[in-house]
Amino acid sequence: MIVQETGAQVNYIPYSGGGPATLDVLAGHVDGTLITLAAVTDHVRAGKLRALAVTTDYRSAALPDVPTMAEAGLPGFAVESWQGYFAPAGTPGAVVAKINRDIQAVIAAPETRAKLEDMGFKVTGGTPADMARTLTSERLRYARTIQTAGITLR
């Protein structure tokens, strides 16, 4: 999305997760990365990494001095990383509801919420129906980006 909006040329390097990507930036093997805040917040606070911008349309409470992409010069750009829980297709509705209630209770606990927000996560929670709406919306948004970029599976 950033490449499409800016025309920047980047080398895409696939990583198996945030840890290896962070290590390569810290070691100077790559110039930078686009990564979730949770993977790098402590490194930014320690002065080992410099955060250039967050991709959300709001500043992060974990790193409030880091501008948004819009503030940094890319007006209208906003992408939010999110996490979700999934169960196998066919899982009984009562089981899904119980898992959801338990997860909501855990993330609503003040200690858990504070820890997650300190890491850079925005804690919202929701229902399985909320997740279905998010997936539908995200699928449409990313499908356009994938089509425009000409990305295909090999």
Summarize pLDDT for 13-70 with one digit per residue, the tens: 989 999 999 999 999 999 999 999 989 999 999 999 999 999 999 999 999 999 999 9
Over residues 125-144, the pLDDT tens digits come to: 899 999 999 999 999 989 98
Over residues 76-129, the pLDDT tens digits come to: 889 988 888 999 999 999 999 999 999 999 999 999 999 999 988 888 889 999
| Residue type, position 55, single letter | T
User: Rounded CA gap, 78 and 5, in Å?
Assistant: 11
pTM for the complete prediction? 0.79
User: In angstroms, what CA-CA distances link 102 with 82, 86, 98, 99, 125?
Assistant: 19, 14, 6, 5, 11
The domains of the chain, with CATH numbers, are: 1-81 (3.40.190.10), 83-154 (no CATH)
| Residue type, position 50, single letter | R
